[in-house]
Amino acid sequence: MTVTVESLAIPAVKLVRHSRHTDERGFLEELFAEDDFRDLGLPDCFRQDNRSFSTHRSTVRGLHFSVDPQGVAKLVTVVRGSIADVALDLRPDSSTFGRHVIHELSESEPSQMYIPADFAHGFITLDDDTEVIYKMTQPWKPELDRGVVWDDPDLGIGWPIRDDTTLSERDAALPAWKEVAAILESGHRRT
């Protein structure tokens, strides 16, 4: 299988493209090969796989991140439907701190988005019945899980859908970017 990587608008966030072999039966894609990822300079040790299914278009999940001592990188793949996937830079020493990347992922395009550990992640579904699989470099630990409210105007995220969104009570109650940014800039990773 052929795997290529390209940097997105924030170079630490990567788009991983892989080949799709199609014949009369359908297709075959190799979503992860340890050697390929290592050769491309990406994490090759993922410790947990998650799957989410969203019944309705316009479902928001995120923006989530894990605090120290355990940052979590993710490799996001859409296996049904499509999403607008967002990575928000949480690195206070970075020139892109507080900026984001948004990229559409879909079942029809053989690609994945790699999101480094020091980024918040979220997405909105663009189709009904959307299914997302993501690999994580660390197991999820609820006591280390934090977030930023998805529609904070200070972030300027150009979500493609803003009406009739569905999100969890927890995600709706996440703190504003200014609050999270102040804690991160102070050197504390426990927001």
State the catalytic residues: 64, 134
Long-range Cβ pairs for the range 92-99 (8 Å, 24+): 92/181, 92/184, 92/185, 92/187, 96/10, 97/181, 97/184, 98/155, 98/177, 98/181, 99/9, 99/10
Q: Which DSSP symbol is given to 166? A: B
Using DSSP, state whether 110 is helix, strand or coil: coil
187: burial class by Cβ within 10 Å (0-12, 13-18, 19+)?
exposed
Contacts with 67 (C-beta within 8 Å, 6 or more apart), sequence order? 144, 146, 189, 190, 191
